[in-house]
Amino acid sequence: MNTLEKHPMILIAVGIMGISLSSIFVKYSSAPSVVTAVYRLLWTIVLMTPAVACSGKRRRQLRQTDSKTVLLCILSGIFLALHFTLWFESLNHTSVASSTTIVCTEVIWVALGWRFFLKGKLTGKACLAIAVTLAGSVLIALSDSSGEGSHLYGDLLALLAAIAVAVYTLCGRIVRATTSTAVYTYLVYLACAFTLVVMTFGQGLSLAGYGGSGIVVGLLLAVFSTILGHSIFSWCLKFLSPAFVSASKLCEPAAAAVFAAFLFHEIPKPLQILGGLIIIAGVIYYSRLEQQAA
């Protein structure tokens, strides 16, 4: 067992940083939300294909993948596409803090799915840790929503995005038990990209004509947020429970708020800072529970 397998929390930290940059990058794209998501996935596939195609082991694993696994990867990819589209669009209607916070309620839907559909168990202490992290998220959302303007539509889109990514995470838990990270993510991203292209044309949109910002943002999202974000979390599902992986993502609102403060002059309010500290405390507590259980 290598160092990363012994200490998966190292990659969890890298993954948190990667996904925290997502909302920042999206703000700089001039393309429609679904088109920006297409750029992101196409760049991801371009970057991953050589690593998969040049490895005899991975090519063999792809050929040996059974139909049930392929179907689960397709389902996972479809919900990941829905997540990207809904979340990117929510950032056009509400603030970075509110959107990222509401998306992080994914942990609620993952925990419920893990408990009722995958027959998993959550201890009372684990539920308390999730409740603490969610309380911190709520404080950030309340602080942001107290300002001028209506954020209801954007908040609703973010909530739907959270439910969609929860399904993606649960599918990953099932597939990653028997499938390598590279094969799983590659199949999921192919299905996700195809779904996004269909959604783009279904809305009567084109994949070109939006300037270079969308393409550049797509590349940045592919490198930092997908490969160093979602792919890392998929890898961690083999060593950590889906509820914990989702809970760790609750650090994203705090990190994104810091980036937004420097880049967009969105200075966090005292209540937002307090919420961020509570989130981090809850995740640390949850991680210790996981380590003790292991």
What is d(CA 100, CA 292) in angstroms, rounded to the nearest whole number? 29
| pLDDT reported for residue 217 | 93
Give residue limits of the domains in the chain.
Answer: 12-121+149-241
Answer yes or no: are the C-beta atoms of 7 and 235 closer than 8 Å. Answer: no
Answer yes or no: are the C-beta atoms of 25 and 139 closer than 8 Å. Answer: no
Chain CA centroid to CA 178, Å: 22
pLDDT in single tens digits along all 294 residues of the chain: 466 666 677 888 888 888 888 889 998 888 999 999 999 999 999 998 998 888 888 888 888 888 889 999 999 999 999 999 999 999 888 778 778 878 877 777 877 787 777 777 777 888 888 888 788 878 877 776 666 655 668 878 988 998 999 899 888 888 877 888 788 889 999 999 999 999 999 999 999 888 888 899 999 999 988 888 877 887 777 777 776 776 777 777 778 878 888 887 777 778 777 887 887 787 777 767 766 765
Contacts for 220 with CB less than 8 Å, ≥ 6 apart: 21, 25
Residue type, 190: L
Chain CA centroid to CA 248, Å: 11
| pLDDT reported for residue 216 | 93
* Residue 283 CB neighbour total at 10 angstroms: 25
* Residue 99 CB neighbour total at 10 angstroms: 29
| pLDDT reported for residue 4 | 60
Does this model's pTM top 0.95? My answer is: no
Answer yes or no: are the C-beta atoms of 148 and 46 closer than 8 Å. Answer: no
What is d(CA 215, CA 35) in angstroms, rounded to the nearest whole number? 9
| pLDDT reported for residue 147 | 62
Which tokens belong to 161? 């995005």
